[in-house]
Amino acid sequence: MLTAARRLLELIRFGHTVFALPFALLAAVLAWQDEPFRWPDLLGILLGMVFARSAAMAFNRLADRDIDAKNPRTAGRHLPAGLLSAGAVWAFLVACCVGFVASTLIFLYREPPNPWPLYLSGPVLLFVLGYSLAKRFTSLAHLWLGAALMLAPVAAWIAVRGPVDMAVPLVLGAAVMGWVAGFDVLYACQDAAFDRAAGLHSLPARLGVPAALRVAAGCHAAMFGLLVALPLASPHLGAVYLAGLALIGGLLVYEHALVRADDLSRVNRAFFHVNGVISVGLLVLVLVQLAVK
């Protein structure tokens, strides 16, 4: 059982929760500037993020297991390699979906009750899971993934305050969408030839790697512009935050310097390491700004 649990955590790359969770916490922290802090809110956000992402990754691995088996880069993943059975992953997926909906009940038992997380849990879950099928019919699957992670700050804000004063989570969410779409395009460059041969839709397969890299750079430029504009929506962000964005911009430039059309050997470093620093760094930057203010 311990081996199966370890393999399930490897399957969903549990450590990569760091990509979306800091943005959910960032939105919650900004929401708490105008709303009393409640421990149940924090617990509900943490549980909801972990269960939603785990369900999405499990479904992705199930949906793609036949494709992964044909791709030399992914043939060693747990399902095609036989390290986990499809039945075990389906059971894990169902448990995560139930856990996600159950975590929204926390917001019904706080003061005052907030039913919005429960109302929206079903549509959010369907949208997040739906990404795994998108590349079968659209080259905009990267934007779908970005929109799925955009829900992290939007959902966290609604969990704390309800669907009011939505400028902050929408601007932040749009930045997340551009960021995720950009780095997902970078990651997909590794499989451009395979996707094209397999009839799968991705921007690198459709446009070619050089053009896809330019699209990714454009997505990250849009992300940076939205982060610069965020203080217009939130009066709690100021000079410290804006100055710190220079470091975020530098990391984005470094990420793109790592990946070239004729050298994709450093895609994993750009995808996993740099983006993890960006997401956690933004959360720390906002916390420092609020502490100083």
CA distance 163 to 92: 31
Q: Amino acid letter at 202?
A: S
Across the range 23-52, mean pLDDT stands at 95
Sign of CA dihedral 103, 276, 281, 189: negative
| Domain range annotation of the chain | 2-292
Per-residue confidence band for 293, with pLDDT thresholds at 50, 70 and 90: confident
Q: Amino acid letter at 134?
A: A
Per-residue confidence band for 18, with pLDDT thresholds at 50, 70 and 90: confident
Q: How many CA atoms lie within 13 A of 53 on its CB side?
A: 23
Beta bridge partners of 263: 260
Asked whether the predicted pLDDT for residue 4 surpasses 90, the reply is no
pTM value is 0.95
Per-residue confidence band for 2, with pLDDT thresholds at 50, 70 and 90: confident
Q: What are the tokens at 24?
A: 């959910």
CA distance 216 to 75: 26
Percent of the chain predicted with pLDDT > 70: 100
CA distance 17 to 8: 14
Sign of CA dihedral 66, 146, 151, 43: positive
Q: What is the pLDDT of residue 279?
A: 94
Q: What is the per-residue pLDDT across 175-222, written as a single tens digit (0 to 9) for each?
A: 999 999 999 999 999 999 999 999 999 999 999 999 999 999 999 999
Q: What is the pLDDT of residue 115?
A: 97
Asked whether the predicted pLDDT for residue 12 surpasses 80, the reply is yes
Asked whether the predicted pLDDT for residue 40 surpasses 80, the reply is yes
* Number of residues that this document lists for the chain: 293
Per-residue confidence band for 13, with pLDDT thresholds at 50, 70 and 90: confident
Asked whether the predicted pLDDT for residue 285 surpasses 90, the reply is yes
Across the range 232-243, mean pLDDT stands at 96
Q: What is the pLDDT of residue 94?
A: 97
CA distance 81 to 119: 39
Which CATH number among 1.20.1250.20, 3.90.226.10, 3.30.930.10, 1.10.357.140 corresponds to the domain 2-292? 1.10.357.140
Mean pLDDT taken over the chain: 94
Asked whether the predicted pLDDT for residue 14 surpasses 80, the reply is no
Q: What is the per-residue pLDDT across 75-124, written as a single tens digit (0 to 9) for each?
A: 999 999 999 999 999 999 999 999 999 999 999 998 899 999 999 999 99
Q: What is the pLDDT of residue 269?
A: 80
Q: Amino acid letter at 11?
A: L
Question: Quick one: which of 22, 30, 24 has its CA closest to 45?
Answer: 24
Backbone angles phi, psi at 119, to 5 degrees: -60, -40
Asked whether the predicted pLDDT for residue 16 surpasses 80, the reply is no
Three-state DSSP string of the chain = CHHHHHHHHHHCCHHHHHHCHHHHHHHHHHHCCCCCCCHHHHHHHHHHHHHHHHHHHHHHHHHCHHHHHHCCCCCCCCCCCCCCCHHHHHHHHHHHHHHHHHHHHHHHHCCCCCCHHHHHHHHHHHHHHHHHHHCCCCCCHHHHHHHHHHHHHHHHHHHHHCCCCCHHHHHHHHHHHHHHHHHHHHHHHHHHHHHHHHCCCCHHHHHCHHHHHHHHHHHHHHHHHHHHHHHHHCCCCCHHHHHHHHHHHHHHHHHHHHCECCECCCHHHHHHHHHHHHHHHHHHHHHHHHHHC
